Structure 1
Amino acid sequence: MSKKQNLTLIVAASENNAIGKDNQLIWHLRDDLQRFKSLTSGHCIIMGRKTFESFPKPLPNRTHIVVTNQQNYKVPHGVIVVHNMEDALDAALEDKHPYVIGGGEIYKQALPFADKIELTRVHEAFEADTHFPELNLNEWREIQNIYHPKDEQNDYAFSFLTYERI
């Protein structure tokens, strides 16, 4: 992987690292969705097949790179299909700041390549079938922490946390 590429994992995870259930997000946080859109717009977004299939259609103003084991996986025009994380990173080489957007298995595969993590920590525990990997805090340092209380737009209190690899 080219060192000019700064790979960021972007995720919303609960206190128990839950990120999804039945291929759906567990919560709706307007501020988190707006942050996701502003950070990822204009960039490559790398995701697993199930995450891609959870969207009604490809997200605007982003290059979608889908990692799947399915050899003949059919996608809309403009979506790139690859079969492993190395190929996903190669497909994103033109982007100096690609994002990995999930799901759980893809985060695990991408974690060793990541330079940064944009984590929305939802201050609640949830039942889930998909989780974000546990971070080794000897490898990561928190460089930003912005707390948001629960309000009429956001069903739960949360914090925007930014980690950089040490």
Structure 2
Amino acid sequence: MIIMIAAVAENNALGKNNELVWHLPNDFKRFKSLTTNHHIIMGRKTFESFPKPLPNRVHVVITRQKDYNPEGCILVDSIEKAIAICPENEDSYIIGGGEIYNLGMEHADILEITKVHHSFDADAYFPEIDKTDWQLVESEENFRDEKHLYDYTYETYIRR
């Protein structure tokens, strides 16, 4: 299965200046739990936003830069090639950024969304989830606390 995973604000904001504009430690834990031991597909800018490669994951980086060669990554120049590299019988995750989510939407089987209940100024946005194509099958509300400044909901969508 191809699964897109993202934390998305009420206005579909993902981030600004190649950074998230919120800090939700529980969402980071969920992301780690879901993506560990799987292939993760991302754009070059998303890869560069990490201080180092994420442990216990196969990094598939989409880039048009011919001379780009980070250690330990599989490099491809299209979403189709990225998906083709992933094992067919395993879950693989598309993890961003905005352009890659737009390209990946037609290929995804599942959306794992953390809906952050706030709007943010951003320069990267998640594509609109068309409810005629996607069915919400699971929803778990989480409320702000001393470590989480915003309410947020984990949402799982499957393609209709």
Query: What code does the residue aligned with 2:141 have?
Result: Y
Q: 1:91 to 1:19 in 2, by over 3 A?
A: same
Query: What code does the residue aligned with 1:155 have?
Result: L
Structure 1 stretches of 4+ with a deviation exceeding 3 A read: none
Question: For residues 52-91 of structure 1, what are the structure 2 equivalents within 5 Å?
Answer: 52-76=47-71, 78-91=72-85
Query: What code does the residue aligned with 2:8 have?
Result: A
Per-residue CA deviation, residues 110-143 of structure 1 (Å, 9 max, x unaligned), is 1000000000000000000000000111000000
Q: How far, CA to CA, are the matches of 2:31 and 2:51 in structure 1?
A: 17
How many residue pairs match? The answer is 160
Question: For the Cα contact (< 8 Å) 1:43–1:95, is it kept in 2?
Answer: no
Within the alignment, does 1:122 sit opposite 2:132 as a pair? no
5+ unaligned residues in a row in structure 1: which ranges? 1-5
Alignment TM-score, normalising by the size of structure 2: 0.98
SS in 2 for 1:46: strand
Cα RMSD for the two superposed structures: 0.8
Report what 2:19 is aligned to: 24
Report what 2:94 is aligned to: 100
Report what 2:157 is aligned to: 163
Q: How far, CA to CA, are the matches of 1:75 and 1:95 in structure 2?
A: 27
Q: How far, CA to CA, are the matches of 1:95 and 1:62 in structure 2?
A: 16
Deviation (angstroms), 1:71: 1.3
Question: For residues 33-44 of structure 1, what are the structure 2 equivalents within 5 Å?
Answer: 33-44=28-39
Deviation (angstroms), 1:95: 5.7
Query: What code does the residue aligned with 2:138 have?
Result: Q
Q: How far, CA to CA, are the matches of 1:66 and 1:154 in structure 2?
A: 30
Q: How far, CA to CA, are the matches of 2:39 and 2:103 in structure 1?
A: 17
Per-residue CA deviation, residues 23-62 of structure 1 (Å, 9 max, x unaligned), is 0011100110000000000000000000000001100000
Q: 1:146 to 1:20 in 2, by over 3 A?
A: same
Within the alignment, does 1:12 sit opposite 2:7 as a pair? yes
Deviation (angstroms), 1:21: 0.1
Deviation (angstroms), 1:93: 2.4
Question: For the Cα contact (< 8 Å) 1:44–1:95, is it kept in 2?
Answer: no
Q: How far, CA to CA, are the matches of 2:78 and 2:117 in structure 1?
A: 33
Deviation (angstroms), 1:65: 0.3
Deviation (angstroms), 1:94: 5.4
SS in 1 for 2:75: strand
5+ unaligned residues in a row in structure 2: which ranges? none
Q: How far, CA to CA, are the matches of 2:62 and 2:74 in structure 1?
A: 9
